[in-house]
Amino acid sequence: MDYDYRITELEQTQERAELSEAIHQIWLHAVDGKWKHWDLEAVGGALLTAGTSYEDAQDVLDIVAAERRLEALKPYIHQAYALAAVALGAKVNGRLERALELALSGAVTLLGADLARVRSAKGNGDYYTVNGKCTCPDASGRAPMVNSHPACKHQLAVWLLRRAETLMLDALVWEA
């Protein structure tokens, strides 16, 4: 029985070490200095002390990190929107405004350099895949062409988020 208990203790210690390392990595990869007031290590420690599993604690930390990241990006999303509004004008028939709403609401998840997932604005739990093209009905027919590609609100939302990331990183480089 003591042997089994020690194995469980070792497993818990290992999970705590893995979570601590994950928290440390999140902390290191925080793109802006504004995250410093969110003590992610304390959040993770409190979750584990309360008996939360490693996976559940990591999920909570991922949500906190995503929310903090989106808050930090919002001014840059607005900046990207202003640039796009000048460049596109009325060409996209209100899609840019709807794209802004999607980007600001956290509906866009960037999955890689050329891949993103955008939650449907209808609130029905549907997602559209954007990888240069979008899987929504608008992109396959009605959307206006911009740079030889249909420009639906999902594609524009992805562009806004990617451009906002670039603007934020540029600003951080100049601040450093």
Tell me the pLDDT tens digit for each residue of 39-94.
555 666 666 666 667 777 666 666 666 777 788 889 999 999 999 999 988 888 88
129, two tokens: 């895949």
Q: 123 and 60 in one domain?
A: no
- What is d(CA 90, CA 84) in angstroms, rounded to the nearest whole number? 11
Last residue of one domain, picked from the residues 69, 91, 120? 69
What is the residue range of 6's domain?
2-69
Same domain, 94 and 156: yes
pTM: 0.67
What residues form DSSP beta bridges with 149?
A: 146
**Is the dihedral angle over the CA atoms 34, 37, 41, 43 positive or is it negative?**
negative
